[in-house]
Amino acid sequence: MKKVDHTDLMEIDKKINPAFERETVLMNIKNDFGKGIFIWHDFGNGIAHSKCDYVLNNNYNIHISSNIPGAVLIFNLSNDIKYIYKNNKKFTLKKNSFLIGLCSDEFYTQMHLEKDLNYRAITIGIKEKLFLQLAKKLEKIDEKMKKVKDSNHYIIDGGYMDSYQLDMLSNFEDSPINDNTLSNLQAESIALNLTHHTINKVVKENISNEHLGNEKIESLERAKEIITKHYASPLSIKEIAYKSAINECYLKKDFKIYYGMTIYEMIQKQRLKMAKELLNDNFSVKESCFEVGYKHTGNFSKLFHKQYGISPSLYRKQQQ
């Protein structure tokens, strides 16, 4: 693989300094390396986010370094990304997975990227002092942060993203970052909600893993799989509990602890997510409603608007 520094990969297209210490940098991948964009936006409050969407014309080892200690939340929306760190430790971030990475002031890593593959990811960076406040409920977070100073990095593997994270990331990708302060505020709002949800999710899963045990967790994951596959069917908690090999009462209680939402909330989120995809594919509102398991378009429209802040008919019109 050819070696290239991350900063040499791109050229600045535009630099914007809107109000209140914010800064936005819009970049294009240089023609010598491939095609695509990289956007970086600093909130001015200890948090910054970036999004990339590009295809490279060769296999490259992209070198990334930073002198700002803190944490990054990385959400991978495309092909697997392979990282190699200073101590030669390797980590692969799979498609639709996320991680929380802790970084020292001498952080360094390489990304192994392959030619002709699309790479799309959202990254949220948080300065050390602020992250320690936000993540104080994470087990032994202070100790982990101290270890980072010696080992350069520490990875908290988040696993696969849940439906709420995927929905927010979808909205994030649709939110333009430019010289319009109002649209940038919308993107900041999504990024902050995503940060809050993700840190809470990791905290709850750490607590859940301690108290639930592997057998219960396996049953809960089976229950989620049933919901993901059969969301359009009239699923009952009794039926899900039977197929997941777990007591009905435990299922209701532990599902909320493990996933941060009730079974019916997850069914609804999955239905609305799939309905949104159908509307993107030019299905009518009525067709989308019935296809995902709702019986009345009025109720469907009300739930869709509550979830996405827009009616399904207007959303469909916008996509067209």
Domain that holds residue 238: 213-319
* Largest Cα–Cα separation, the chain: 60
Q: Is 12 left (phi over 0), alpha (psi -120 to 50) or beta?
A: beta
The answer on pLDDT for 14 being more than 80 is: no
68 shares its domain with 183: yes
Whether residues 188 and 70 share a domain: the answer is: yes
Domain boundary among 157, 178, 209: 209
Residue 259 is predicted with a pLDDT of 79
Listed residues 209, 230, 250: the one ending a domain: 209
Instruction: Please indicate, yes or no, whether residues 72 and 98 belong to a single structural domain of this protein.
Output: yes
The CATH number of residue 239's host domain is 1.10.10.60
Which among 188, 209, 230 is the end of a domain? 209
In a shared domain, residues 229 and 193: no
Same domain, 88 and 107: yes
pLDDT of residue 19: 56
- As for how many domains the chain has, the answer is 2
Distance CA 153, CA 147 (A): 8
Q: How confident is the model at residue 274 (pLDDT cuts 50, 70, 90)?
A: very high
Average pLDDT, the chain: 86
My answer on whether 85 and 193 are in the same domain is yes
Q: Are residues 158 and 292 in the same domain?
A: no
Confidence tier at 268 by pLDDT (50, 70, 90): very high
Q: Quick check: 267 and 229 in contact, CB under 8 A?
A: no
Q: Quote the pLDDT of residue 175.
A: 61
| Whether 29 and 105 share a structural domain | yes
Q: Using 50, 70 and 90 to split pLDDT, how confident is the model at 32?
A: very high
pLDDT digits (tens, 9 = 90+) for 114-132: 999 999 999 999 999 899 8
Local confidence band at 37 (pLDDT 50, 70, 90 cut-offs) = very high
Q: What is the pLDDT of residue 208?
A: 55
Smallest Cα–Cα separation from 165: which of 101, 99, 113? 99
Contact between residue 219 and residue 208 where contact means Cβ atoms under 8 Å apart: no
- Residue 153: give its domain's CATH number: 2.60.120.10
Rounded Cα distance between 275 and 289, Å, is 7
* Pairing of β 47-56 and β 118-127: antiparallel
Stronger pLDDT, 56 or 150, i.e. the higher one: 56
Whether 22 and 184 have beta carbons less than 8 Å apart is answered as yes
Strand runs (DSSP E) across 57-144, as ranges?
60-66, 70-76, 81-85, 90-93, 97-103, 107-113, 118-127
Cα 217 from Cα 304, distance rounded (Å): 30
Global pTM value: 0.66
> Are residues 170 and 78 located together in one domain of the fold?
yes
Q: Is the pLDDT of residue 287 over 90?
A: yes
Residue 284 structure tokens: 């009518």
Tell me, yes or no, whether 29 and 156 share the same domain. yes
Burial class of residue 265 in the structure, from the number of CB atoms within 10 Å of its CB (0-12 exposed, 13-18 middle, 19+ buried): middle
Query: Residues 105, 245: one domain?
Result: no
Is 83 in the same domain as 128?
yes
